[in-house]
Amino acid sequence: MLRRAYSERWFETFAAPIPQTQIVRDIDGVISWLPGRADARLLEIGCGLGRHASELVRRGYAVVAIDEQPVAVAAARRQTPAAEVLRLDMRQLPTLSGPFDACLILWHAFGYFDAAANERVIADIASLLRPGGRLIIELFNPAWVQAHQHSARREGCVTHQWVDDGRQVVEITYRDGRQDRFSWQLYSPQQLTTLAARHGLSVLATGGWWDFTRPITPDLARFQCILSREHQPDAR
C-alpha cells in the first residue's frame, strides 16, 4: 500500500534515530536568531515527534507545536507535556491565536502543497507574527536535490528520489514492501525571498548547517533562512 503521508513507520525509521546532538545544534541555531523577549512565545510547524519543542521548553520558552499526523502529535505530547501540541494542518493556521515572537519550520516541513497553498501558509505565518517576529525556516537546496536524483538503500529501506516539475519526490519502500511517498515544491533562497517579501517578511540571513557565513552552493543539502516581519503584511 502506497501512503502519501508520513506514516508511523517513517517516524520510527527516519525521525526517531536523529541524535540529540543534532536537535541541540538546531535549537542553538534557532535561539541565536530569536527576538530578545524573556516571555517569547514560539510556534513550531511540523513538530514531528516533539524533540525540538521539548528542547525549547527545557530552555524556558512557551511553545505551541502543530503537526497533521496523529502518531506525531501523540508522541510530541508525551515528549513535551509542557508545550501546547495540536493536531493541525498548516493550512489551518488562521485558527490559531497570535501573536508569536517566532515561527519555526525545521527539517523541510514546508512546500508540501501547490504553489498557491504554500504561499497562503507564508501569508498566514506573517499574520501570526508580531512586528519584529521571526520566521526560521529550513529547506532542501534545489541545486543539491537536482544533483542527487538516485536510488539508495538506507535504514534497511530502498529510497528513490527525483525531481518532477520543480518538486522533490521521494518514494520509500520498507522491508515488508509497504511504501511512503512524499512530494515538496522546491524553493531556492532567491525564490523564498521573493515569496516572503510579498507578505511583509524580509530576509536577515541565509546559510547552511546554521553557519550564516557559508554560501548556498550545490554541495549543501539544506539551507536555513531567517526572515523578519518588519511591517504589516499585505492586505489579503
pLDDT of residue 90: 97
In the predicted structure, residue 233 carries a pLDDT above the cut 70: no
SS percent in the chain: helix, strand, coil, step 5: 30, 35, 35
**DSSP conformational letter for 208:** B
Burial 19-40 (b: 16+ CB within 10 A, else e): eeeeeeebbebbbebbeeeeeb
Label residue 167 exposed, middle or buried (CB < 10 Å: 0-12, 13-18, 19+). middle
CB atoms within 10 A of CB 17: 8
Residues with Cβ within 8 Å of 118's Cβ and at least 6 positions away in sequence, in order, are 110, 111, 112, 185, 195
- For residue range 55-106, what is the model confidence (pLDDT) as tens digits? 999 999 999 999 999 999 999 999 999 999 999 999 999 999 999 999 999 9
Q: What are phi and psi of 47, to 5 degrees?
A: -75, -15
Place of cell 526517531: 16
Residues with Cβ within 8 Å of 57's Cβ and at least 6 positions away in sequence, in order, are 63, 80, 82, 83
Confidence of residue 231 (pLDDT cuts 50, 70, 90): low
- Sketch out the chain's domains with CATH numbers: 2-141+187-229 (3.40.50.150)
- What secondary structure does DSSP assign to 24-60, as a single string? HHHHHHHHTTS---TT-EEEEES-TTSHHHHHHHHTT
**DSSP conformational letter for 131:** E
- For residue range 1-55, what is the model confidence (pLDDT) as tens digits? 444 568 888 999 989 999 999 999 999 999 999 987 778 999 999 999 999 999 9
Place of cell 515569496: 195
- For residue range 116-162, what is the model confidence (pLDDT) as tens digits? 999 999 999 999 999 999 999 999 999 999 999 989 888 789 999 99
Q: What are phi and psi of 126, to 5 degrees?
A: -55, -40
Place of cell 511517498: 181
- Sheet of 222-229: strand order equals 84-87, 62-67, 41-45, 100-105, 129-140, 222-229, 201-207
